[in-house]
Each structure stands twice: as C-alpha cells, then as structure tokens.
Amino acid sequence: MSQEISTNELKWHSGDWRKVPMKQEPYNGLEITGVPTYDDEHKFVSATITVKDFTKAPKGLASTMEDVTLADEWVNIPVPVTSPPSDDFTVDGAIKLRVGSNEILLRVKLAYGPEKMQRQEIGFIGGFPSVSPA
C-alpha cells in the first residue's frame, strides 16, 4: 500500500502562545503539528504528531510520534533524546486519535510549563479529513 503525504496539516498553539516570545522562561507555550497520511483510496491511515515545547528552549524542543493510528489507545509523548541530556522538555502526557463525524480528531491530555506554573491541556485540538480531498 503506498501512502501519500497530505497537505492537510494541523497546527495548534496553546492558549499561552505569544506572537512575540518572552525573553526569559517560559519563553513560549506549546506548538503541536500533525501530518496525516492517506492510502491509495485517499482514506486516512495515520498521522505523525510533533509536540514542540518552548518553555525552557527558545527555539523549541520537539517530540515526534510517528504513525499514530486510530487504535483508540493513548500514545505517551516521549521525552526527546538530546545530547547532552537536558530536562528542558516539560511536557508530560499523551495523545490519541478518534473518529469524528467528518474528520479524525486529535485529543490531548498533557501538562507542561515551569514546575510552579504547570498548565494542563485537555480535549480535542483539531482534526484531519477522514478522506483526503487531494
């Protein structure tokens, strides 16, 4: 089965996102992007989800989950491996996909941010078309 990369990408920012980043921690909030893949019949197969945390990293620190499917299971957001190791990635949580009426919905439950100012994100942050219009 060949898969096509779609342009139906999802990009979401947390509510504390600033167009102009702060000059100290927390530099900014979270950015979550999703890139879906579709099969030959243009039906949704999976998505690659990237969670980018700007709390302690001005340029962001990204954790990527590839080939997330509609398995109805929470996928833990892994801590990215960096060299040298750092604790700059503050996100703790999981994502999963769910079928909606017209699209595939991306659900999150996660916490992030400075230790004393942790923020929680819950719910559905966006969707991908079930069938690629392309």
Partner 1 sequence: MALSDIKLNFINRSSDVNNSTVVVFQQNVAESFGEIAIAWKVIENCGRLDNHPFTYPLNFQIAASDSYGNYTPRLDAVDGMAYEMVKDTSGDVLTVASVPATSSAEVEVRNNLTQGAINANIYRSGRLLAAKTNMAPGQKAVFQFHPRIYIGVVNQIVESDVMDSAVIKTINTELNLFGISSADIVMTGGGPGPGSLPFEFHLENINTM
Size of the site for partner 1 (CB under 8 A): 25
- Going by C-alpha positions, the residue among 129, 125, 93 that lies closest to residue 13 is 125
Is residue 126 close enough to count as binding partner 1 by CB under 8 A? yes
Decide whether 53 or 103 has the Cβ nearer to partner 1: 103
Q: Looking at beta carbons only, is 5 or 17 nearer to partner 1?
A: 17
Query: Which CA distances in Å does 81 have to 55, 84, 85?
Result: 17, 9, 7
Judged by CB under 8 A, the residue of 5, 18, 66, 67 near partner 1 is: 18
Q: Pick from 17, 82, 86, 92: which binds partner 1 (CB under 8 A)?
A: 17
Strands 103-112 and 92-99: antiparallel
Site string for partner 1, 99-118 (x = CB under 8 A): -xxxx-x--xx---x---xx
N- to C-terminal Cα separation, the chain: 17
Read off the DSSP letter of residue 59: T
3-state secondary structure of 116: helix
Whole-angstrom distance, CA of residue 50 vs CA of residue 91:
12
Task: With beta carbons less than 8 A apart as the criterion, state whether 109 and 93 touch.
Answer: yes
Cβ nearer to partner 1, comparing 86 with 118: 118
Decide if residue 120 touches partner 1 (CB under 8 A): yes
- Of the pair 111, 134, the CB lying nearest partner 1 is at 111
Question: Which residues lie near partner 1 (CB under 8 A)?
Answer: 14-18, 98, 100-103, 105, 108-109, 113, 117-127
